[in-house]
Every structure is written in C-alpha cells, then in structure tokens.
Amino acid sequence: MAVFAKYTAMNKKQLAQAMAGKLAITEAQTKPLLDAILQQLHRALAEGEKIYLPQFGTFELRYHLPRTGRNPRTGDVIEIDGYNQPSFKPAPALKQLINN
C-alpha cells in the first residue's frame, strides 16, 4: 500500500516571499530576480536549450511525433501534429531529499 503525503502548492508570490526571507532582502527586491530567472528559463526552452541545474534537475523539451487519432464524436480519422512538450527530470539528490 502506497503512502501519499499531503502536498500543498507554492505560488509565485509565496516563492518570492520565501526567497526574500532567505536572502534578507525585501520582496520588492526579490520579485525582479525571480522574474529574470523565469524569463531565462522560458527563453532557453523556447530556443530548444536544455537547462541543467546541479542538485536540482534538468529542464528540456521532448518532441512528440505526429500521429493519427480519432475524433471521439464522429469517429473520423484525424492527423495530430507533432509538438514540443516541456519536461523536468529531477536530479538524484533532489529525489533523495524528497523521499527522506
């Protein structure tokens, strides 16, 4: 039987507050830093770059090949275009931290 922990979500504002507390600066000073990090992640992924953060993990794009599918209402065969899907693979250190 699997045991599931209760997870809560942290939003961007809460992350900025946590960063501000850790860096001993104001939330107003932290927000542009967080925005810059997120913009850089967006830019790199949009350009097809892989982002490796040691002890955290890897962000990358995974390409899904085009395929045929069916319209569930009509049953017609349709072509589904290929697409890039952002993905995250956690580093072993992060997995160990989470599971201990």
pLDDT in tens, 28-55: 999 999 999 999 999 999 999 999 999 9
Residue type present at position 18: A
How many structural domains does the chain have?
A: 2
36: alpha, beta or left? (left if phi > 0; alpha if psi -120 to 50): alpha
Examine the domain organization and report whether 62 and 100 are in the same domain: yes
Is 97 within a domain?
yes
For the entire predicted model, the pTM comes to 0.74
Q: How confident is the model at residue 60 (pLDDT cuts 50, 70, 90)?
A: very high
Query: In this structure, are residues 86 and 63 in contact, taking their beta carbons and an 8 Å threshold?
Result: no
Examine the domain organization and report whether 85 and 54 are in the same domain: yes
Query: In this structure, are residues 94 and 55 in contact, taking their beta carbons and an 8 Å threshold?
Result: yes
Q: Which domain holds residue 27?
A: 12-49
Task: Indicate the helix (H) or strand (E) that contains 95.
Answer: helix 92-98
Compute the distance between CA of residue 83 and CA of residue 80 in angstroms, rounded to an integer. 9
